[in-house]
């Protein structure tokens, strides 16, 4: 695991969602224009060393970050809930609406970083929050990055995603590569598949996680700039 970049001020936050109170870690650097919400994979959470490293790099690039636990402590060991993409996406959508009105993130364009099953939740949530409804006005997600993602777990949403999406997969993560290749064929939005040579599913090899972090930062910054220009 590489050393974390120099940290910015962060705080623990609580987000009320139907049926649960979610816990997160919010970091907002000065001058941020976007906020990246993290949807972790199964068995991981807001204290994940890998996602905290990526979040640190994103903050160094001027992006706010919100690392989320989409399941409560009592739910995270229930395998049915770990793979309940509808539930995870609904809670990520709720956290997105929270960020839209929170004084520290209000006005920041939202982005998603999803890992493993969290990537499926991010893709589905991007479709969910786009439509206005009883929960509030529609919100357009500026960009999505998937790390070792399982986009195949959100099959009904792939054709509807209109957010620029970067899918990052390890070159040695053999079972996951075709799942992402299939998603690229179905996605109708701007999309890119980036394969990190020699990396396995957790990107534990030297230099692999750094490459993920910088690919993600470039994708988010470029698309936030594009959104501002439009």
Considering the domain boundaries, does residue 5 fall inside one? Answer: no
Q: How much is the pTM?
A: 0.93
The confidence score (pLDDT) of residue 229 equals 43
Contact 115, 51 (CB under 8 A): yes
Of 70-79, 84-93, 103-112, which range is least confident? 70-79
Closest CA to 148 of 112, 186, 174: 174
For residue 54, give the CATH number of its domain. Answer: 3.40.50.1820
Confidence of residue 31 (pLDDT cuts 50, 70, 90): very high
Quote the domain boundaries for residue 192.
Answer: 10-229
Instruction: Please give the average per-residue pLDDT across 125-146, as a whole number.
Output: 89
Question: Buried b / exposed e across 123-162, counting CB within 10 Å, b at 16+?
Answer: bbbbbbbbeeeeeeeebebbbbbbbbbbbbbbeebbebbe
- The length of the chain, given as a count of residues: 230
Residue 4 located in a structural domain = no
In this structure, is residue 2 part of a structural domain?
no
With respect to residue 15, please indicate whether it lies within any of the assigned structural domains.
Answer: yes
> What total number of domains does the chain contain?
1
Q: Is residue 215 part of a domain?
A: yes
> What does the alpha-carbon distance between residue 6 and residue 208 come to, in Å, rounded to a whole number?
19
Residue 230 has pLDDT above 50, yes or no: no
Has residue 14 been placed in a domain?
yes
Predicted confidence band of residue 135 (pLDDT cuts 50, 70, 90): low
Q: Looking at the predicted structure, is the pLDDT value of residue 228 above 90? A: no
Give a yes or no: residue 112 inside a domain. yes
Residue 2: which pLDDT band, with cuts at 50, 70 and 90? Answer: low
Residue 115 in any domain: the answer is yes
């Amino acid at each position: 695991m590489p050393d974390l970049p120099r940290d910015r001020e962060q705080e623990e936050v609580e987000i009320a969602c139907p049926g649960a109170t979610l816990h997160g870690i919010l970091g907002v650097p000065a001058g941020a224009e976007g906020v990246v919400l993290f949807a972790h994979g199964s068995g991981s959470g807001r204290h994940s060393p890998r996602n905290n490293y990526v979040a640190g790099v994103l903050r160094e690039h001027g992006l706010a970050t919100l690392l989320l636990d989409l399941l409560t402590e009592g739910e995270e060991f229930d395998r049915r809930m770990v793979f309940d993409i509808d539930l995870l996406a609904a809670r990520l959508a709720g956290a997105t609406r929270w960020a839209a009105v929170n004084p520290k993130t209000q006005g920041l364009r939202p982005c998603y970083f999803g890992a493993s099953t969290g990537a499926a939740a991010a893709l589905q949530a991007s479709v969910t929050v786009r439509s206005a409804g009883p929960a509030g006005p529609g919100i357009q997600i500026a960009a999505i990055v998937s790390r070792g993602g399982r986009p195949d777990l959100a099959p009904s949403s792939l054709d509807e995603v209109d957010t620029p999406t970067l899918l990052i997969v390890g070159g040695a993560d053999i079972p996951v590569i075709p799942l992402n290749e299939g998603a690229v064929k179905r996605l109708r939005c701007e999309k890119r598949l980036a394969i990190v040579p020699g990396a396995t599913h957790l990107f534990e090899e030297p230099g692999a996680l750094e490459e993920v972090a910088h690919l993600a930062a470039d994708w988010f910054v470029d698309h936030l700039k594009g959104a501002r220009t439009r």
